[in-house]
């Protein structure tokens, strides 16, 4: 949305923005040192939207121009592209968590602050609508079940949960933000048994035992955004097992603006879900692979920055049969060639795509805990 700039009224900003747009059309085509050139999948931003997408991540005057032009009807933001402001961290989720009625967590309920494991367990197990503010470091163990309609958010820049994790089991409408997870003894965050409408945003994950964020057993409508994963192996499993075919028709998840920083594998590893959307993430020195699509899944991988990744994408992995994977407009530095194949179902929500060459700096500056003031 257009905001006042240095005291200039909104209407004047809009007019100046429209003029800036006309002067700045030379910048409309996104740049990339190398694009993978794979065929486009269903759900791609239409050609008419690409001019709008090109302004994402540009200088401030171009962002104002885009917003003004959108208000004047110059661009459509409804078919794969959203206003430029959506590129930056927001206090509402985009992606799949914005569908199926949306994800609001504990909005409208009471707010409590917790400083101990006992207090945190009591709060997350409550049937009430709650915003739970985590202050300081909380040490606990095991998987701790979270009930529906909760926002769990770290206070300040050092809120930490160590030793254990959250189990979102057949719950809905849960938000987890601004927390550092470390040394978990099972999973840091586990979604299972039909968990739905969950937003996991601006957290940091390091040095745990099993999955950092695992999503399985018919869970659905999830967004994983602006997180920093580092010093860890198994990062983001999507789909329980090859034999759990009940996951078909579920596991619709968006991963965007995450930093997979030297993590080894599963960014994500997908079974059955279609469409799964992986966009504008930064993959750095991932030892085994970036993204894997298996067991008939459909994954759209677009606008990501791969650096030092020998296997950016796999179609099929280990004993799991292949899924579909469409890759487009990604940027590769000292990385291998992605495996692609098949087609992917349409992406139903609006989103804005930063040109891939700008993703590294954008994500490094914004991903992880301590970067927002929720």
Per-residue pLDDT of the chain (374 residues; tens, 9 = 90+): 333 333 334 444 344 344 443 334 333 333 333 333 333 333 333 333 333 333 333 333 333 333 333 333 322 222 233 332 334 457 899 999 999 999 999 999 999 999 999 999 999 999 999 999 999 999 999 999 999 999 999 999 999 999 999 999 999 999 999 999 999 999 999 999 999 999 999 999 999 999 999 999 999 999 999 999 999 999 999 999 999 999 999 999 999 999 999 999 899 999 999 999 999 999 999 999 999 999 999 999 999 999 999 999 999 999 999 999 999 999 999 999 999 999 999 999 999 999 999 999 999 999 999 999 88
With respect to residue 73, please indicate whether it lies within any of the assigned structural domains: no
- Compute the distance between CA of residue 256 and CA of residue 190 in angstroms, rounded to an integer: 18
| Pick from 232, 302, 297, 301: nearest CA to 260 | 232
Domain that includes residue 167, residue range: 84-366
The one catalytic residue in 133, 217, 266, 328 is: 266
| Pick from 95, 186, 202, 90: nearest CA to 144 | 186
Alpha helices in 45-127 (DSSP H): 47-54, 60-71, 117-124
Give me the residue label for tokens 């700096």.
361
CATH of the domain at 309: 2.160.20.10
Q: Catalytic: 269? A: no
With respect to residue 190, please indicate whether it lies within any of the assigned structural domains: yes
Structure tokens at 260: 């997979």
The pLDDT score that the predictor gives to residue 16 is 39
With respect to residue 320, please indicate whether it lies within any of the assigned structural domains: yes
With respect to residue 71, please indicate whether it lies within any of the assigned structural domains: no
With respect to residue 332, please indicate whether it lies within any of the assigned structural domains: yes
- Domains in the chain, number: 1
Structure tokens at 220: 């659905």
The pLDDT score that the predictor gives to residue 14 is 40
- For residue 180, the SS3 value is strand
Query: What is the longest distance spanned by two Cα atoms in the chain?
Result: 61
With respect to residue 79, please indicate whether it lies within any of the assigned structural domains: no
358 phi, psi to nearest 5 deg: -95, 0
With respect to residue 217, please indicate whether it lies within any of the assigned structural domains: yes
With respect to residue 230, please indicate whether it lies within any of the assigned structural domains: yes
């Amino acid at each position: 949305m257009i905001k006042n700039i240095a005291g200039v009224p909104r209407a004047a900003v809009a007019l100046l923005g429209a003029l800036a747009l006309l002067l700045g059309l030379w910048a409309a085509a996104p740049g990339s040192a190398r694009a993978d050139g794979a065929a486009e999948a269903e759900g791609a931003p239409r050609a008419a939207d690409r001019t709008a997408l090109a302004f994402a991540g540009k200088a401030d005057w171009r962002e104002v121009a885009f917003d003004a032009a959108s208000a004047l009807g110059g661009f459509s933001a409804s078919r794969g592209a959203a206003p430029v402001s959506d590129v930056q961290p927001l206090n509402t989720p985009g992606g799949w968590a914005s569908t199926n009625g949306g994800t609001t967590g504990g909005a409208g309920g009471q707010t409590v602050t917790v400083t101990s494991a006992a207090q945190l367990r009591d709060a997350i197990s409550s049937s009430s609508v709650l915003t739970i503010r985590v202050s300081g470091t909380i040490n606990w163990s095991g998987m701790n079940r979270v009930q529906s309609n909760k926002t769990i958010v770290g206070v300040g820049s050092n809120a930490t949960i160590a030793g254990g994790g959250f189990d979102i089991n057949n719950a809905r409408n849960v938000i987890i933000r601004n927390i550092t997870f470390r040394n978990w003894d099972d999973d840091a965050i586990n979604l299972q048994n039909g968990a739905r409408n969950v937003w996991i945003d601006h957290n940091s994950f390091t040095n745990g035992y099993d999955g950092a964020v695992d999503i399985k057993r018919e869970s659905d409508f999830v967004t994983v955004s602006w997180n920093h994963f580092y010093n860890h192996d198994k990062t983001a499993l999507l789909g329980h097992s090859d034999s759990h075919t009940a996951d078909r028709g579920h596991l619709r998840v968006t991963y965007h603006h995450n930093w997979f920083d030297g993590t080894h594998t599963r960014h994500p590893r997908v079974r059955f879900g279609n469409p799964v959307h992986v966009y504008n993430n930064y993959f750095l020195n991932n030892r085994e692979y970036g993204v894997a699509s298996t067991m008939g899944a459909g994954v759209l991988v677009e606008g990501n920055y791969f650096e030092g990744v020998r296997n950016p994408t796999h179609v099929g992995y280990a004993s799991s049969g292949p899924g579909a994977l469409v890759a487009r407009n990604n940027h590769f530095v000292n990385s291998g060639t992605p495996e692609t194949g098949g087609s992917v179902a349409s992406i139903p929500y609006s989103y804005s795509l930063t040109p891939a060459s700008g993703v590294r700096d954008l994500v490094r500056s914004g991903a992880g805990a301590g970067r927002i003031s929720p």
